[in-house]
Structure formats: structure tokens, C-alpha cells
Structure 1
Amino acid sequence: MPNIAQWTGTPSVKGSTESMRMALLTASLIGLQFTWTVEMTYCTPYLLELGLTKSSISLVWIAGPLSGMIMQPIVGIVADRSKSRWGRRRPFMLGGTVIVSLFLLLLGWTREFVQLFVTDKENSKTATIAMAVVSIYGIDFAINAVQGSCRGLIVDTLPIPKQQMGSSWASRMVAVGSLIGYGAGAVHLESIFGPMLGNTQFKQLTAVAAITLCLAVGVTSYAVTERVLVNNGQEEGQLGAFEVLKTIFNNARHLPQGIAAICHVQFWAWIGWFPFLFYSTTWVGEIYLRYDAPAEAKISGDITGQVGRIGSQALTSFSVITFVMSVILPWFVKSPQDEAPDFTPRPPSSIASIVLEIEKYKPSLLTAWTASLCIFACAMATAPFIRSLHTATIIVGLCGISWAITCWAPFTFLGVEINRLSQPDHHPYGNMTRNSIELDGPVQLHLNHGPDDSHGTTGASSGAYLGIMNLYTTIPQFIGTIISWVVFSLLEPGKSPELAKEAHPEEQHGTDGPNAIAMCLFIGALSASVAVLFSRRLKRFQGH
């Protein structure tokens, strides 16, 4: 029985320049983030408009962590062992994309779909809510399969010295997806597309999201050629549900120390990020309706569209800052490989002294990650005290700095650790100057992997480790869901007076008390502070 994985072919990415290859490799994340943006921006006010309470909606959002906890590890392990001639990741990316697109369209046209089968008004309202929830679950389960495969493709394709660059490009594409998504949500789409894509802002956004996702994933799938797994170095056999769960459990129990340290930071950070990502748009919209909106705005026919547009305007600033930071910061932050004891930068002799002097003052990626967590914690701690749309927009925008590094740092560290573990050399970051192929030439990216994988990386278990780290991202979301449910139940037990158009007055709560979402954001700040402490513990495993 072989004890190492065996492959055929070489991974490659189309494109004549390194920047073009990186852009094509990570383009799929634009569509992914656009879809997440539509869901996080519009689904909460949409469900509130249908008549659900905030406490009920917090339970609906269990879909996110539940799907991530189930789908990403399972798809990661199954894909790790896939011997498809199309590669290990792209078949899951494409199949999942089709499913996500269908559920997006169903979500946008839920009322019309239900009315085909249910004519009674009361039953129709109940069935519409149920179908909307089913659609959200369908989107979340399918998109997690796509997301895990897209991230795994980046780790599989790039050598260790390019893992930070790949992660920073991924962060840029996430920012682009957010920028396009929030920008589209902030404008009145009906004035652009007319009735062609639907008669409401929400319908048009779901249609545009489906199209964008298909195009983005299609571009990456076309541009990337994966190597094909011939033998994974393990005993062949049916990979049943029990075997998958056993593999996940064993891997999670015996994580290498470096990967475990990364996961612990993710755990605490994501308890804080969960309420921000899912409720910040609604929070900004409610701040506007409570303190700044004229009277006529509060009786608008399309409340979901109005709140979504106001929130999207704030989150557009968040996305712009995220994008700018994801482009600029990698130039001013040391790559993990630069901190390896045997690594020496080799700039051109004419500027060597200047470059080496600048390198002395660059912060490490770990320091940047810690600082970003501090910024996020401070911003969220102010949420309960915000009383104007302008200030809320500033606070949300400031979090863009933190989000840029959050989308970049953990995946860089994880990619380096995964590929380091694949090499016979157990140096903290591998023998990078000798065992990797640079991408600087104007040729295709070719990473040759022989039977011993002494060049480049293997990434044989990248799907499993990415899936496990995703557990440390999704389990906190369960905790965040429980926290949100408790806070909403205590502070805003009735239906939203701003958004539930058909709610009876006695079912509504007042608007003079504390904002429940703001309190959830504040609790998130406390959790982010704990993540800061764990990020300092990560230092001992990063070769500093």
C-alpha cells in the first residue's frame, strides 16, 4: 500500500502575468461574496417584512453555521479523495453553483411560487415564510460546498511562498464581491433593469446574484487546470457517512499545534463577526428609521428595499475600505515566509539597502491580524451609543480594515501550515527558497508535483483542514445565534414596528428602548477582545 499520494498532470492557471493568474484563480470569490452580501443585507429585513420576529429570525440564521459545519468538512474530505479527471475541487464548485442559483431565484420569487399552490391568504402567508426559510437553508448548504472548494483550489494550486499572495488576492476578490453587492443593493435596480428581472429590489438582486455567481465560478473553473489524483496513499474503499465523520473527528482531535492555534483565534473572532455580518445592514436601517428618517419614509411601500438600500450605502463604504486595505496592506506587512530564520530577501542590488531597511519596520502578519481585531472590538463596543446614520456608517466603514485582514491572515497561516506539513522538512515554514517555483515569469503557472512531492506542495489534506477550520468559524455562529435569540427575546420580543407592515400594534415592541442588534454587536466586541489574547498565543507557533 503506498503511503504517499500519487498524481498526474500539473496545476496551471491561464494568464500572461502573475496578477492575471492570481485574479483568475480567485475570481470565483467575487460571485460567492456577492451572494453572501445579498443574503446578509436583504434577508433579515425581508423576513421581518413577512412578519417574523427578530428572535425567530435569529434561529433561522442557524442555517449559516449548520451548513458550514456539515458541508465544508464533508465536501472537503470527499473532494480530497476525488479522482475525477476534472480535478478535485471544480466539479463541486460547478455543481454547487447551479443549486445555489436555483434557490436564489426561488427565494426572490417565494410569494409567486407559493401562490401557484396555495390560494388561502392566511395559509399563503405561512407557506411563504416556510418557503423563504427553506430557500435560505438551500442557499447556505450549497454555497458552503462551493466556498470550501474555492478556498481548497487556492491552497492546492499555490506553492508556500505564494500562499500569502493568494490569500491577499482572495481578500481583494471578497472585497470586490462585497463592493459590487452592496453597491447594487444601494441603487434602485428597477430604474436600471426595469421589470425584466422582477418588480422589487429583492427579486432583482437575487437574479443578479445568481448570474454573477455562475459567471465568476465559471471563469475560475475555465482558467484553472487541476492535477488529478491517482492514488491518495490510503486504503481504497467506500467513503460512507461514518467514515467521513470519523475522519473529521480524528483530524479535529489531533490538529497540529499551529493549525489549532489559528482555529482558536477564528473561534473567538467569529462570535464577534456573526452579528455584524448578518445584522449590521438592518441595524443601520433601524438607526435611520428611528432617528433620521422623515415621516413619509416610514410608510413606504417597499420597506425591505428602503432599509436594504440605506444599509447597503453604509456597507458600501465598508467594502470600499476593505478593498483598499486588501490592496495596500500586503505591501506593508511581512509575509510569514519572510520571517523564517533561513529566509533572506534578494532585491536588486541597486535598491537592496533601501528594501532591507524598509523590511526592518514592516509589522508581521500576525501583528496586523491582532491590530485588526482590536479595531473591530473598539468599533463594536460603541454600537449601543450610536444615534445617527452618519455615525453608524463611520463605524461600519471602520470595520472594513479588520475584515480585509480577517479574509486574508487566517487562510495565509493555514495554507502555509498545510503545505509545510506536506513536506519532509519540518522547518516552521518549510524550505521555501529551495522547494518552490516562483510565479514572476510571463508564463503559465506550472507547479510540478512528482511522486515524492519534493517540489511545491501536496495539499493532500487541504480540504480536510479547511473544513475543520470552518468548524471553528461556524460553531461560534451557533453561539452567536443563541446570544442573539436571548437578546432579541429580552429586548425586542414583538414584531418590528419599522419593518413588519402587517403586524398588529399589540404584537409590536416600542422603539424607545435599547436597540437589540446594537447589544449583540457589543457582545461581539467582548468576544473579539478574547480573540486578541489568543492571537498573541499563536505567536509561539509561527516561528517568531
Structure 2
Amino acid sequence: MAAAYALTGQASIKGNSEMVRMVLLTFCTIGITFTWGIEMTYCTPYLLNLGLTKSNTSLVWVAGPLSGLIVQPIVGVVADESTSNWGRRRPLMMAGAVIVSACLLVLGFTREIVGAIVGDDGSDATRRLTVVLAVMSIYAVDFAINAIMSCARSLIVDTLPIEKQQAGAAWGSRMNAVGHMIGYGAGSIDLVRLLGPSLGDTQFKQLTVIAAMAILGTTSVTCWAVTERVLRPSSAGGALATKKLPDEGPLKVLHQIRSTLLTLPPRVQAICWAQFWSWIGWFPFLFYSTTWVGETYFRYDVPPGARTSGTDVLGDIGRIGSAALMIYSTVSFVGAFFLPMMVRSPADETYTHRPPRAMAGLLEGLDRMKPDLLTAWIGGHLMFAAAMFMAPLAKSFVSATILMCLCGIPWAIAMWAPTAFLGIEVNKLSGAQDPSSAALPLTSSRRNSNSGLPSSSSSSSSSGELSGIYFGILNIYTTLPQFIGTFISTIVFAVMEPGKSPELHDETKEAAAAEGKEVGGGTNAIAVCLFIGAMSMLVAARMTHKLRRL
């Protein structure tokens, strides 16, 4: 019989106020989202610049969903059973940050590394080796950053008591928006002109160096500020002890997920299917929208003579795309703060407000005018679909940017609504008496009047276990559509743009110019992928509407 283990010690966060403690606890999210933002903005045009075809590039982005599907459950099990003196989450977070930062540097300086090893002879073998090293670096970054994300989310759950979970999720969402804004803002600036060649001679190289420092720095701050409880062998059983049997671990987790998937309650299943269809639409938008905006600018706004010049086209397209994403992320950031004030959340249906008597009539009237969260979620689906149906018609940088920024509001709702609805369902399934305590990640709690952060809470332990299973299943329904999106984009790119990118690959660009062909003519293949995503979003709206009848 294996020994029982128990969590010992007391969890704590440095800081003299609740806001400071929340910021420190979620600070690592800034580095995570900054890195994701740089990858989404620059890696697609970077791979095209290396000579990879668009159809092959789309296959590279299997790394994201594959790492989320494989790494997060495995890392979760490893962390849960870790007996490190530093805690269960922080050692893996720091190890992941070191791997991410190293691989980012390899990614940014791939050509130089290959040139130093085999020589820069310009041969096909050298170019292929450069592409292989770049793709391997992207996969390593995605796998390692998913490990950080998994542990960072668990750290919030482990450290905060049950009554502070909602506030922790809200601050995590805010740090996410801040990270995106900083990342897209940095990408939209000409860093080579601003900083000189000290960090690299191209925009992409400098951003990979900055991202490497950001992921290391922000993760270090969170790990320094948080003290975890430690898992230790326990001679006594009890509620805090966990049996660690030889046949438990990943197989047990897989069995739990499988059995729960087969017995999902109807409302939970409806939420998951709405998430599934919506993410078929979100995947091409998140990974290709900046390249689409940049290519639209290159095709329609740049004079024909400038398209074959020796300028840093990769940097130009990246900066143009980042400028659009900066506006988009600002819209999302504003929405993340103010949408919860304009939408009646599910909690409002069970919580009776007691406004001042003099203002009761006005406030009750305004509250009745608010749409409920389900209506807002459906509206977000339809707003995204309407914008992306127009994507193939965008013929200028301005029109593409406007369409992209219109999706900022749906994205803010998409980051809020599924978690809110599933949180309420999990509370009901776990026998919670107050459904209004469900986590709403974009708004701070109105009930938490105490300013301190209790270090531990033993209440609702069964609820915590239940939420982990169901939110893990929601992550599966978020991840699987990304494989479908990759498959769709691969077919579209192979049919519409089967060769190497004429906008970004120098040899293809020069060959087209020599033959007198227009560089980048015809319908943009990425715009077609966005159009297909809009059709999927209509299905998501239909699935979301089913929740009213369940």
C-alpha cells in the first residue's frame, strides 16, 4: 500500500493590498499572452518568408492545439503529485519559462544558427534545415508555454480561497488583455529604428528577444510572490490526505475524462458544442488575421513598384498586422471591463439587488433594459460572422482593420460567457446553494467585501474537483476545433495559393516580377478561411440558442 500524502504549510502572496496580491499572482499571464501575441503576429509571415508554403504553414499550427490537448493534462497530473519543497506548480512554471525563452531565441536567429553550424551556402539543404529548426522551435515554444499556462491556472485555484476565485479569474483576464496590448503595441513599433541593431537587425529578432525576457521576468515575479503549500507524506488519513496508488495517474485522469464525456448533462453538453463550433471560426482569425491585414495592405495599398524592393517585407507586414491587432486588443480590453456592467449575468437572475430607495425605480428600469448573457453571447457570434463574411471583400488596409476590430467585442464575450455558464452548471452539479457565486472572469465580485486573501479554504472541495473535470472537457471542445480549422485552411491554401507566398518569399516574388505577373493578385486565401469560419459561427449561434430550451 502506497503512503498517503497531504498538503502542508500555508499558501500566501506578497503584497500589502488585495489588488497588489492579485496582480502579483496573475502577473505571469502578461508574459504568456505577450509571447502568444508575437507568435500569432509574426510566425506565419516568418515561415512564409523562409519559403514554407501556406498549406504547410497551416500544418505547423497543429502545434498549438496538440500541445494543449496533450501537455496540459500530463503536466496537471505531474504537478498534482509533485513533492518539491518549492511547491507543486512553481518549479514547472520556471522550467517552462526557461525552455520558452531559449526556443524563442533559436526561432528568432534560426538563419544565423544554421549558418554557424553548416555554413550559409544558400543551398536547398540549408534552407530546409532552417525551416525544420524554425518549426521545431515553434513546437517547443507551444508545448512549454502550455505547461506554464496549466500551472498558472492551477496556482490561482490552489492559492485563493473559494470566495476569492471569482476575483482571481477577473484579474487573470485583465492581465491577459494587458499582455496582448503590450505585445501588439511592441509589434507595431519599428523597433530596429528605435533600439538600433543591438537586439537584432530585424523586427522579428528583436521581438523574440523581448518576448524571451518577458516570459522569464513575469513568471519569476509570480513565483517569487507566491508561497505554495507543499505535498508531504502523511501517516494519518483524513480529508486532506490523498492516496497515491501505483495504478493511479494519467490513466486515471483519462478514465475520468472519458466517463464524464459520455455522461455530460444536457446544458453542459450544449455549452461545449457552442464552444466547439465557435472555435472553428476563432482559430483562423487568431492565427492568420494579422497576416491577412498585412497582405491586404501589401496587395492594395503599396505601389506596385515597391512590392519587389529589398525592404523588410516581413517586418512591414508584421508591423501593419500588429497595429491592427493593437486596436483590436484595445477594443477587447475595454469590452472586458465594461461589458459585464451592460449585460445581465446569470447571477442576476438569482440575486436580489437592494439599491437605495430613491434610485430604486431608475436602477430597476435600467436593469430590465439589459440583455441577458445568453443574448449577448448569441449576438457576439452573429457580430463575428457578419464581420468575417465581409473579409473577401476587403480591398484596403483600413477596411481589413475595421473588420478585424469589430471582432474585439465578440472576443471579449467569448472569453466570458462559456466560463460563466459552465461555472453555474458546475455549482449546481456540486450542490452549491448559491448559483450566483459562479465565476465570471471579466468582472470582480460584488459580494467579496473583505479585503484580505485567506490563505486556504477547505470548503467545496468536491466542487473544485468537479470543476476541474468539466473545465478540462471544455478545453477539449476548444482544442479539437483547431485541428478542424487547420485541416480546412490547409485545403484552402493548397487549392488557392499552392506555391510559396509571392508577398513574402523573395525568389517567388522576383520570378513573378520577371514574368510580368502581378504579385499577390486574386482572392486572398486567408480571407476565404475567415469566411468559412463565419459560417461555422452561425452554427455556434444556433447551438447557443438551444440553451434557452434546456
The match for 2:511 is 505
**1:149 corresponds to which letter in structure 2?**
C
The match for 2:32 is 32
1:322-471 equivalence runs, <5 A: 322-340=332-350, 343-347=351-355, 354-418=362-426, 421=429, 423-425=430-432, 428=435, 439-443=448-452, 445-446=453-454, 448-450=456-458, 453-454=459-460, 459-460=464-465, 462-471=467-476
Q: Offset of 1:336 from its aligned partner?
A: 3.4
Distance 1:276 1:208, change over 3 A: same
Q: Offset of 1:264 from its aligned partner?
A: 1.6
User: 2 CA distance for matches of 1:135 and 1:301?
Assistant: 26
The match for 1:477 is 482
Q: Offset of 1:463 from its aligned partner?
A: 4.7
Q: Is the 8 A contact 2:307 2:519 kept in 1?
A: no
Structure 1 residues 326-373: Cα deviation after superposition (integer angstroms, max 9, x where no partner)? 111122233433333xx3235566755654444333333333222212
Q: Is the 8 A contact 1:380 1:522 kept in 2?
A: yes
Q: Of 283, 299, 304, which aligns to 1:290?
A: 299
1:270-281 equivalence runs, <5 A: 270-281=279-290
Q: Offset of 1:389 from its aligned partner?
A: 0.7
Structure 1 residues 481-500: Cα deviation after superposition (integer angstroms, max 9, x where no partner)? 11001101111111111111
- Residue 121 (str. 1) matches residue 129 (str. 2): no
The match for 1:181 is 183
SS in 1 for 2:464: coil
User: 2 CA distance for matches of 1:228 and 1:439?
Assistant: 27
- My pick for the range that moved more, 102-111 or 411-420, is 411-420
Q: Offset of 1:176 from its aligned partner?
A: 1.3
SS in 2 for 1:511: coil
Distance 1:131 1:424, change over 3 A: same
User: 1 CA distance for matches of 2:150 and 2:113?
Assistant: 31
User: 2 CA distance for matches of 1:265 and 1:47?
Assistant: 32
- Residue 316 (str. 1) matches residue 318 (str. 2): no
Q: Offset of 1:71 from its aligned partner?
A: 1.1
Q: Offset of 1:160 from its aligned partner?
A: 6.1
**2:212 corresponds to which letter in structure 1?**
A
Distance 1:534 1:327, change over 3 A: same
Q: Is the 8 A contact 1:18 1:441 kept in 2?
A: no
1:229-244 equivalence runs, <5 A: 231=240, 233-234=242-243, 236-237=245-246, 239=248, 241-244=250-253
Distance 1:19 1:417, change over 3 A: farther
Structure 1 residues 409-462: Cα deviation after superposition (integer angstroms, max 9, x where no partner)? 3233444544555x5547655799xxx99543333x115423xx25x8852355
Q: Of 219, 238, 259, which aligns to 2:221?
A: 219
The match for 1:58 is 58
Distance 1:519 1:59, change over 3 A: same
- My pick for the range that moved more, 253-262 or 46-55, is 253-262
The match for 1:70 is 70
Q: CA RMSD in A?
A: 3.2
User: 1 CA distance for matches of 2:270 and 2:109?
Assistant: 44
- My pick for the range that moved more, 28-37 or 130-139, is 28-37
Structure 1 residues 104-131: Cα deviation after superposition (integer angstroms, max 9, x where no partner)? 1110111111122212432221110000
Q: TM-score, normalised by structure 2?
A: 0.87
Q: TM-score, normalised by structure 1?
A: 0.88
Q: Of 242, 263, 267, which aligns to 2:272?
A: 263
Q: Is the 8 A contact 1:376 1:525 kept in 2?
A: yes
Structure 1 residues 59-105: Cα deviation after superposition (integer angstroms, max 9, x where no partner)? 11111111111112222344344455544433332221221111111
- My pick for the range that moved more, 351-360 or 63-72, is 351-360
User: 2 CA distance for matches of 1:350 and 1:19?
Assistant: 32
The match for 2:262 is 253
Question: How high is the sequence identity, in percent, across the aligned residues?
Answer: 53
Q: Offset of 1:212 from its aligned partner?
A: 1.3
Distance 1:160 1:336, change over 3 A: farther
**2:381 corresponds to which letter in structure 1?**
L
SS in 2 for 1:121: coil
Q: Is the 8 A contact 2:159 2:456 kept in 1?
A: no
Structure 1 residues 458-509: Cα deviation after superposition (integer angstroms, max 9, x where no partner)? 5235554443322211110100011001101111111111111123737999
How many pairs does the alignment contain?
530
The match for 2:92 is 92
User: 1 CA distance for matches of 2:148 and 2:446?
Assistant: 28
**1:95 corresponds to which letter in structure 2?**
A
Distance 1:225 1:488, change over 3 A: same
User: 2 CA distance for matches of 1:410 and 1:524?
Assistant: 19
Q: Offset of 1:252 from its aligned partner?
A: 3.3
User: 2 CA distance for matches of 1:96 and 1:426?
Assistant: 39
SS in 2 for 1:117: helix
**Unpaired runs of at least 5, structure 2:** 233-239, 440-444
Distance 1:72 1:209, change over 3 A: same
Q: Is the 8 A contact 1:160 1:416 kept in 2?
A: no
Q: Offset of 1:258 from its aligned partner?
A: 4.4
**1:90 corresponds to which letter in structure 2?**
R
The match for 1:207 is 209
Distance 1:114 1:467, change over 3 A: farther
The match for 1:304 is 314
The match for 2:104 is 104
User: 2 CA distance for matches of 1:499 and 1:255?
Assistant: 47
Structure 1 residues 188-239: Cα deviation after superposition (integer angstroms, max 9, x where no partner)? 1122322221111101101111111222222333334444556564553365
Q: Of 496, 521, 526, which aligns to 1:517?
A: 526
User: 1 CA distance for matches of 2:355 and 2:143?
Assistant: 46
User: 2 CA distance for matches of 1:156 and 1:538?
Assistant: 31
Structure having greater relative contact order (Cα 8 Å, sep ≥ 6): 1
Q: Is the 8 A contact 1:172 1:323 kept in 2?
A: yes
